Structure 1
Amino acid sequence: MVKLQQPKFVYMGGKLRLWDEASLHIGCEAVNRGLNVFEGIKGYWQNDGRFGVVRLSHHYERLCRSARLLHIPFNHTYEEYCSAIYELLGELLGPDRDMWARTTLFVTEGYWGENTVADLAVTAYHMDKRIPEPINLGVSTWQRSSDVSLPARIKTSTNYQVARLARIEGKALGCQDMVLLNQWGRVAEATTSCVLIVREGVIYTPHATEGALESITIDIVEAIAHSEGIKFVRRPIDRTELLVADEIALCGTLAEITLVKSIEGLPLNKKSDILVRLQNQYFQIVRGLSSHPFVGLTFVPVKCPV
């Protein structure tokens, strides 16, 4: 059984609170209709002892876009957003583990779009300093919703209901994650991350119009690939292309770059190591062991030295 972390503090209602004191009223729209938008951000200890969060301003901008699309008011400036994150991480950071933080706008007041009020909540969880292990991947019978149904462009918890069902389906098949197809039967994304494949030396990933989240981590991988002279193309991907791909990986803030060792029970061809090399470069960059002009790190004031 997975044991969920319960950090000492969360940020909610404009200040730090004890974990058990953070609550939402049963009558609010965040509870009744799952009305929220969120961002997951990842921070890494650097080689020089600083703690750097990856592309923090881009996560703020995407949170603003999601809020706009769901008509959720969000009046925090970028500086206020950062301050809330810094305050929480400053209390929770330890020297031996990285952290993943979730910044969520919960709709706490209002009804059906009238008089809507939202509260920024920040939670943060410790993460081991390790490269993800390769996984078994399947293809779900559950489908990504369309842009005129529940747009993947909105990073909201309600978009992850189908992901939950797909994960349950995958567990019974011995798969750690599942691919969701779109309304045309093509690859959209995995349950919580985007999909990368390699065929004949070229990296492919579905465009956002295929039902994939507009991924910040995908943008990073694309920039690294271009720097290495590796062709990176965004285009539709058929289901059968997964079965004949030379390499597959999942890509996202929490998934980072997770390599796939089998697809629907079939071992991969392993005809190339492009994604393996990009995975190593990614971790070198986010940990400050090397640098890339595209990958901006925001350094958090911390109390705890490495």
Structure 2
Amino acid sequence: MTVTQDGVPARDTKAPQATPAAGSPAVSPLAYHDGEFVPLERALLPVTTQALQYGTGVFEGIRAYAQRGGGLAVFRAEDHYRRLLRSCRTLRIDPGHTVEELCALTAELLRRIGTQEDTYIRPLAYKRALLPGQKPGVGLTGVSDALSVNAFRMGSYTDPAGIRCTISSWRRPSSDALPVRAKVTGGYVNNALAVDEARAAGCEDAILLNSRGQVAEASTSNVFAVLRGRLVTPPVTADLLEGITRDTAVTLAADLLDTPTDFRDLGRDELMGADEVFLTGTGTEIVPVTEIAGRPVGEGVPGPLSTALRGAYQDVVRGGEPRYAHWLHPLNA
């Protein structure tokens, strides 16, 4: 594949350019679609798309943050795209790009959009159409693959004063029924049902238990609890997605707060009796949980560890901690 110096396919060099604007719309006017940068209104798919019919797609959620020294940087882009490629292998999807190329085209998309504000990036790799001669029906072979990337302006949207969660009646699927360590689009109906139930109960999010009755994760976040001064989070064997922000929180807690993390099964009763609970995710970032199933967590306010970790995270993603500069992918890199 012929690429430019930025690692972007050469045929994309004449794609439309966005004009930087302070009042740019929440949804960016450009997308990467079908191998080129196009106006968002041209990034369309037919109703016959296999991923739309059968949920055979994988995706990532990535954030780019405005830096304290100026400019925009994508946070842990390489780690997100490594996970995307692992998810692709699970569904036999060939996105046609390496991790390095995906990072480069994402940076190029943001440069063309021209934004300097916090931005959310959504790459989606998916099964598109049956190849000639293939019989109709669901499958992973004999189907073409495609990649699309779009972006939209999004700052922090969770309440630093904490959120309320339910314990969902929906269970997290087990890994022998669904590849839970891959971000498969079809699997998120489970998450959507849990969130719908939580909102109907007046809460912001749901915590799902696995088939063994242990804590798995929240709808789109990992779960942490502080129990008698120990930081605890469920292990990957609890049928959860290994979050990039989960790893960030574990690292920052150890490095900056001298707090190691215990990876072990976490029961519902333990969670309800925790001194602190918080969630971690790319979208939610780090957010305290102050109420679970109508009962206060601890004193019903964000605890000291949750508060300190949330502050440290914001410092790191905005370039305030030089030792974590390797997690940041500046647009001018």
TM-score normalised to the size of structure 1? 0.92
Q: Which has the higher strand share?
A: 1
* CA deviations over 1:31-88 (Å, ceiling 9, x no partner): 1101111111111111111211111111111011111111222331223212321222
Counterpart in the other structure of 1:184? 212
Aligned-residue offset at 1:28: 2.3
Counterpart in the other structure of 1:86? 107
1:259 aligns with 2:288: yes
Distance 1:158 1:129, change over 3 A: closer
2: CA distance between counterparts of 1:252 and 1:292?
A: 21
2: CA distance between counterparts of 1:130 and 1:164?
A: 18
2: CA distance between counterparts of 1:98 and 1:116?
A: 36
Secondary structure at the counterpart of residue 142 of structure 1 = coil
Secondary structure at the counterpart of residue 143 of structure 1 = coil
C-alpha contact 1:142 1:162 (8 A) present in aligned 2: yes
Which residue of 258, 263, 268 maps to 1:229?
258
Moved more, 97-106 or 17-26: 17-26
In structure 2, stretches of 5+ residues that fail to align are 1-24, 131-137
1:120 aligns with 2:147: yes
Aligned-residue offset at 1:267: 1.4
Distance 1:21 1:37, change over 3 A: same
Counterpart in the other structure of 1:39? 60
* Structure 2 letter corresponding to 1:211: D
Rg larger in 1 or in 2?
Answer: 2
Aligned-residue offset at 1:291: 3.2
1:275 aligns with 2:275: no
C-alpha contact 1:40 1:254 (8 A) present in aligned 2: yes
Distance 1:293 1:89, change over 3 A: closer
Identical amino acids, percent of aligned pairs? 34
Aligned runs of 1:22-33 on 2, under 5 Å?
22-33=43-54
2: CA distance between counterparts of 1:205 and 1:188?
A: 9
* CA deviations over 1:69-126 (Å, ceiling 9, x no partner): 112223312232123212221133433x301101110211336122232111111111
2: CA distance between counterparts of 1:248 and 1:294?
A: 28
Which residue of 183, 188, 193 maps to 2:221?
193
TM-score normalised to the size of structure 2? 0.84
Aligned runs of 1:63-74 on 2, under 5 Å?
63-74=84-95
* Structure 2 letter corresponding to 1:160: Y
Aligned runs of 1:92-241 on 2, under 5 Å?
92-95=113-116, 97-110=117-130, 112-128=139-155, 132-133=159-160, 134-227=162-255, 228-241=257-270
2: CA distance between counterparts of 1:125 and 1:132?
A: 20
* Structure 1 letter corresponding to 2:165: L
Distance 1:138 1:175, change over 3 A: same
1: CA distance between counterparts of 2:325 and 2:288?
A: 23
1: CA distance between counterparts of 2:322 and 2:262?
A: 23
* Structure 1 letter corresponding to 2:139: W
1: CA distance between counterparts of 2:64 and 2:196?
A: 29
C-alpha contact 2:156 2:285 (8 A) present in aligned 1: no
1:287 aligns with 2:308: no
Secondary structure at the counterpart of residue 120 of structure 2 = strand
CA RMSD of aligned residues (A): 2.0
Higher relative contact order (CA 8 A, sep 6+): 1
Secondary structure at the counterpart of residue 168 of structure 2 = strand
2: CA distance between counterparts of 1:258 and 1:272?
A: 11
